[in-house]
């Protein structure tokens, strides 16, 4: 194994980060191919070097990079949307069937509005949405 970036203790620019990240990736690939990562608690030149550069990369990421959180729709919203698709209904038509405004249904699907007990009953009776799903994610 040929070590690189031995004189570096801090990554402070994107170009260096990209180079060190690529080096780390190569180290991991080499270590995997050589069996140096075969044991969970392996302690060898590969694991120590991967740890050293990994810490520098992690520090750079936490200091200079911002990440957006992944957004997931709630299972209740997905259940409602699936029922609308299955029945070939538009949101407006579904809202009429539920006796609410289209904007109210839209807010429920987007998770911006909670589901009242009355709405929970309507969702169950009108679209056969699983009551457990309603209770857990309303």
Model confidence, pTM: 0.52
Provide CB contacts within 8 A for 121, sequence distance 6+: none
b/e map 89-127, b = 16+ CB within 10 Å: eeeeebbeebebeeeebeebbeeeeebeeebbebbeeeb
98 and 51 together in one domain: no
The phi and psi torsions of 52 (rounded to 5 degrees) equal -60, -50
Q: Please report, to the nearest 10 degrees, the dihedral formed by the alpha carbons of residues 44, 45, 47, 48 taken in order.
A: 110
Q: Same domain, yes or no, for 132 and 87? A: yes
- Start-to-end CA distance of the chain, whole Å, equals 55
Q: What is the pLDDT of residues 84-138, one digit of tens each?
A: 999 999 999 999 999 999 999 999 998 889 899 999 999 999 999 999 988 898 8
Range of the domain at 58: 14-64
The verdict on residue 6 lying in a domain is no
User: Phi first, then psi: what are they for 60, rounded to 5°?
Assistant: -60, -45
Residues 60 and 92 in one domain: no
Domain shared by 133 and 80, yes or no: yes
Q: How many CA atoms lie within 13 A of 125 on its CB side?
A: 9
The number of domains in the chain is: 2
Give me the pLDDT at residue 52, please: 95
Q: What is the pLDDT of residue 70?
A: 80
């Amino acid at each position: 194994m040929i070590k690189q970036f031995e004189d570096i203790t801090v990554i402070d620019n994107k170009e260096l980060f990209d180079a060190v990240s690529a080096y780390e990736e190569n180290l991991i690939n080499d270590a995997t191919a050589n069996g140096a990562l075969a044991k969970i608690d392996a302690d060898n030149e590969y694991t120590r070097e991967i740890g050293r550069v990994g810490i520098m990369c992690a520090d750079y990421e936490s200091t200079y990079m911002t990440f957006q959180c992944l957004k997931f729709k709630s299972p209740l919203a997905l259940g409602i949307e699936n029922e609308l698709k299955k029945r070939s209904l538009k949101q407006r038509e579904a809202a009429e069937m539920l006796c609410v405004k289209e904007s109210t249904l839209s807010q429920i699907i987007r998770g911006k509005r909670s589901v009242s007990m009355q709405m929970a009953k309507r969702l169950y009776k009108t679209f056969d949405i699983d009551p457990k799903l309603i209770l857990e994610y309303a």
